[in-house]
Amino acid sequence: MIDYKPSIAIVDYGLGNLFSIKQACLFVGLNAVITHAREEILAADGVILPGVGAYGDAVDTLRRLDLISVLRDIAFSSKPLVGICLGMQLLMTESYEFGRHKGLDIIAGPVNRFENPKDKDRLLKVPQIGWNRIFPAYEGASWQGTPLQEIGEGEYMYFVHSYIVQPQDEEVILSRSRYGHIDFCSGVRRKNVYAFQFHPERSGPAGLKIYLNLRKELEKARENNEYKDGD
């Protein structure tokens, strides 16, 4: 299939700049559609759950659009699902952003606020806005076979967030970053589910590489499925 372009559904629930995600997808040769229609989300080869804004509002909107079960079904299928920023936090069990809110509970663990990050004596601003480096979860861990494949250890990515995810199972941590004295999880992976606290679509060429890797993974997934179908 030479001209085949994998398709990706960018879940639209009213918040955030979905256009930059779409542009990044188009740039690496993905067919991208911004949608909140169940059929379109289910039909795509992969799904991106983006998000900027308040946790509680986002969950309410997803519920109102009847998308929670759809996203959970995808997470527990083999179709790639990628959470970005608030989209990553939504995958967790619950968040303590202005009260307690239930999340999609796809990855076990809470979302908590950055607590007074300090750089030497200087109290750092929350939200963290800007470029920060990502490192493998532990020394010797590899990003091979994930969307971070071939990204350099310590590469800079663009972050905008006040809250961090704290997965219960350390195994799902894909990358770590450090803001002041606080070491936090900046990327997770659970089988077909990936999520990043940073914005790959705003992280220059290094971030685009993540989208390119995603495209390759979608192509591979499709080849495998076709092979199975033809069996």
So which residues are the catalytic ones? 85, 199, 201
Min dist. Cβ of residue 155 to other proteins (A): 7
Interaction of residue 34 with other proteins, rule CB under 8 A:
no
Interaction of residue 99 with other proteins, rule CB under 8 A:
no
Beta carbon nearer to other proteins, 23 or 78: 23
Beta carbon nearer to other proteins, 21 or 195: 21
| Of 37, 36, 5, residue with least CA distance to 18 | 36
Binding residue for other proteins, selected from 27, 63, 145, 183, defined by CB under 8 A: 27
Interaction of residue 217 with other proteins, rule CB under 8 A:
no
| CA pair distance 165, 184, nearest whole angstrom | 8
Interaction of residue 4 with other proteins, rule CB under 8 A:
no
Structure tokens at 96: 């303590």
Placement of tokens 């010797």 in the chain: 140
Q: Evaluate whether 11 touches 33 at the Cβ level (below 8 Å).
A: no
Structure tokens at 29: 């040769």
Interaction of residue 160 with other proteins, rule CB under 8 A:
yes
Interaction of residue 33 with other proteins, rule CB under 8 A:
no
Q: Inter-axis angle of helices 204-230 and 18-27, to 10 degrees?
A: 70
| CA pair distance 102, 91, nearest whole angstrom | 10
Interaction of residue 204 with other proteins, rule CB under 8 A:
yes
Secondary element (H or E) of residue 216 = helix 204-230
Q: By CB under 8 A, which span of 92-100, 104-112, 163-171, 199-207 interacts with other proteins?
A: 199-207
Q: Evaluate whether 59 touches 90 at the Cβ level (below 8 Å).
A: yes
Q: What angle do CA 41, 145, 136 make, to 5 degrees?
A: 105
Binding residue for other proteins, selected from 113, 146, 149, 156, defined by CB under 8 A: 156
Interaction of residue 223 with other proteins, rule CB under 8 A:
no
Q: Evaluate whether 55 touches 17 at the Cβ level (below 8 Å).
A: no
Q: By CB under 8 A, which span of 39-47, 165-173, 186-194, 202-210 interacts with other proteins?
A: 202-210
Min dist. Cβ of residue 42 to other proteins (A): 26
Interaction of residue 135 with other proteins, rule CB under 8 A:
no
Position 133, amino acid: R
Q: Which residues bind other proteins (CB under 8 A)?
A: 15-17, 19-20, 23-24, 26-28, 52-54, 119, 124-132, 151-152, 155-156, 158, 160, 179-180, 199, 201-209, 212
